[in-house]
Amino acid sequence: MFQPLLYQVATGILSEGQIAPATRDVLKKKNVSVELAEVTGFDLEAHYVTTVRPGGGFVNLSYDSLIVAAGAGQSYFGHDEFSAWAPGMKTLADALSYRARIFGAFEMAELENDPENRRGWLTFTVVGGGPTGVPNCGAVEAVLKHEFRRFDTGEVQVLLFEGGPEILATFGNNLSRKATRELQKIGVEIHLNSIVTHIDGKGVDVKGPDGSVRHFSSRTKIWAAGVLASPLAKMLAEATGAQRDRAGRIKVEPDCSLPGHPEVFAVGDMNCNDLPGVAEVALQSGLHAAHVIRNRVKNGAEPTPWKYWDLGSMAAVDRRSAVLSAHGVRLSGRLAWYVWLVVHITFMTGFKNRFTALINWFLSFVGKGRLERAIVVDLNRLLTLDLKAPKVGG
């Protein structure tokens, strides 16, 4: 799954299959067996992984070398109750659920006669102004609001809450200011130094820079602040005595292996490497672990330390603008957006997915169409749960 484009599945730009082709299909020409199961434990001394298959059957899978790349989930900074109304966007299920929430909110606004209730449906809240939150703002703002008849498109509002003094802080002050201006130009309302203190089905409470708390009516909330390593990281740390950081990531050896277990590797968002949580870190650390194993099996070579090659950072701001920072080069606007398109189409898997993604992008970015608008979850159940979930404050 190409996680950086999950938000485009959520906002109807791409289909889930375009960013997450079947693993079995991708590896069909390789000497690889694919099994559908959930990992529930490790026995590092006996060299096996415990899994449970659909239907409840437990199976132990033995190994000579093991790479664990389970990624990360969402962190709510001690307020896990927020997830009931503002789930993260880390999986395809998350993205499809958000698609239902976003497009469903417009449909509910079309049915609503009360102006105050309609305003709640047409207000979209994004928590977190990093490389995940900012693209969500631009994509949500451009959704099919022109197709509806019973409300004015000017009523649609996107709120972005960032706890720090600027959005996209890792890109530097200049690019952060440019991204801020671009978002404001398309109508996104940005609140800096603002901390969400409470969330329920009908809105959010936010503590502003002056310490006062204000309530914002919003039925759709997107949480894009903070990450927490997969629970598998805790299992591995307990099995090896390895330390973990505050995000739950394992402190590994220089070659990405676990302390005392050179045959077991934790890569990507699971290991604590003081690097940004971007796709390229996962790709490079995974490749390094594979090379270490291959060289060890082939000629008994000693492991070499992993060195990350920083290719730079980029983030889409809206459908025709992006920011890019790479080796001293700073780009923004349309030129950065073209680079963003080329890089992301390159990293997608398969020619067919690349080709169809280009068509979808053309219709969505040049025109105003959204091809992937099917709501595949029970919207009535989803909205009912939002209202009935217990209102636990922070």
**Which residue segments constitute the domains of the chain, with CATH numbers given?**
35-73+228-299 (3.50.50.60), 76-225+313-388 (3.50.50.100)
What token pair was written down for 223?
Answer: 């949480």
Question: Residue 381 to residues 104, 108, 221, 320: CA-CA distances in angstroms?
Answer: 12, 14, 17, 35
pLDDT digits (tens, 9 = 90+) for 270-288: 888 778 778 888 999 999 9
Indicate if the pLDDT at residue 68 is higher than 80: yes
The partner residues of 227 in beta bridges, in order of sequence, read: 74
Dist CA 43 CA 47 (whole Å):
6
pLDDT higher than 50, residue 289: yes
* Spatial contact of 137 and 188, defined as CB atoms under 8 Å apart: yes
So what's the pLDDT on residue 36? 93
Contact status, residue 158 vs residue 126, Cβ threshold 8 Å: yes
Q: Is the pLDDT of residue 61 over 60?
A: yes
- By CB atoms closer than 10 A (0-12, 13-18, 19+), residue 357 is buried
**Pick from 379, 301, 340: nearest CA to 131:** 340
Share of the chain above pLDDT 70, in %: 97
Contact 58, 41 (CB under 8 A): no
The model's confidence at residue 373, banded by pLDDT at 50, 70 and 90, is confident
CA distance 126 to 317: 14
* Contact indicator for 28, 304 with CB cutoff of 8 Å: no
Q: Phi and psi (nearest 5°) for 12?
A: 80, 15
Whole-angstrom CA distances from 100 to 106, 212, 379 are 10, 33, 6
294: helix, coil or strand? Answer: helix
For residue 359, what are the contacts with CB-CB under 8 A and spacing of at least 6? none
Strand 58-62 relative to strand 220-223: parallel, antiparallel, unpaired? Answer: unpaired
Mean pLDDT calculated for residue range 344-372: 89
Collapsing DSSP to helix, strand or coil, 73 comes out as strand
